């Protein structure tokens, strides 16, 4: 992506797996966001190898009113594969950003995609269901993108 758009009200931070199996879901998600007039923000948009990844992520989160956290693939699927702890960590950074923010950042909105059995955990974590939209992941680009995005950005 390579842009430095700081239009807070249109930026959407995307926290998802960046692997070959997920690209079939990521592409329609990016297309849907752009089609709806939003600016997708992902960690790989910055090629500055001198800046630590966590700093890039914090900057993207700070510059984005909306965020999508796909936590549906946290567990490792293969032997000796690591559990994906970075994705819930990034959700925590986003939640903290909103919790301690002033001005527009206090009104950040989250869309959390997850497996159905985790839903109660995340709603409990939020304490404010009105600012979180939590939907089960279906591993379907259409079902995960268009209706959920339209509802979350209202």
pLDDT in tens, 18-65: 878 888 888 898 999 999 999 999 988 877 778 888 999 999 999 999
DSSP E strand stretches across 84-153: 109-114, 132-136
The total of other beta-carbon atoms located within 10 Å of residue 88's CB is 19
CB 141 within 8 A of CB 29: yes
Instruction: Tell whether the model's pLDDT for residue 95 goes beyond 60.
Output: yes
**Rounded distance between C-alpha atoms, residue 142 and residue 154, angstroms:** 19
What the block records as the tokens of 47 is 């090629």
Contacts of 138 (CB under 8 A, 6+ apart): 144
Q: Hey, what domains does the chain have and what are their CATH numbers? A: 11-148 (3.40.50.360)
Mean pLDDT, rounded, of the chain: 75
CA proximity to 68, closest of 101, 108, 100, 106: 108
Single pTM value for the model: 0.72
Which uninterrupted H or E stretch holds 132?
strand 132-136
**pLDDT at site 51:** 84
CB 23 within 8 A of CB 139: no
CB 67 within 8 A of CB 111: yes
- pLDDT band for 152, please (50, 70, 90 cuts): low
Instruction: Tell whether the model's pLDDT for residue 140 goes beyond 70.
Output: no
Instruction: Sort 102 into a burial class: Cβ within 10 Å, 0-12 / 13-18 / 19+.
Output: exposed
Phi, psi of 70 (to 5 degrees): -90, 100
**Rounded distance between C-alpha atoms, residue 144 and residue 136, angstroms:** 8
């Amino acid at each position: 992506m390579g842009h430095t758009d700081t239009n807070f009200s249109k930026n959407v931070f995307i926290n998802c797996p960046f692997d070959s199996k997920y690209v079939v879901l990521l592409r329609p998600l990016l297309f849907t966001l752009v089609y709806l007039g939003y600016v997708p923000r992902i960690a790989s948009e910055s090629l500055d190898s001198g800046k630590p990844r966590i700093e890039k992520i914090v900057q993207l989160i700070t510059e984005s009113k909306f965020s999508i956290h796909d936590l549906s693939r946290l567990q490792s699927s293969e032997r000796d594969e690591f559990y994906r702890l970075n994705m819930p960590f990034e959700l925590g950074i986003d939640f903290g950003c909103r919790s301690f923010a002033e001005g527009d950042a206090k009104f950040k909105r989250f869309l959390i995609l997850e497996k159905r059995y985790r839903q109660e955990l995340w709603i409990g974590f939020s304490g404010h269901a009105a600012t979180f939209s939590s939907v089960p992941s279906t591993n379907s680009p259409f079902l995960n993108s268009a209706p959920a995005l339209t509802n979350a950005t209202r």
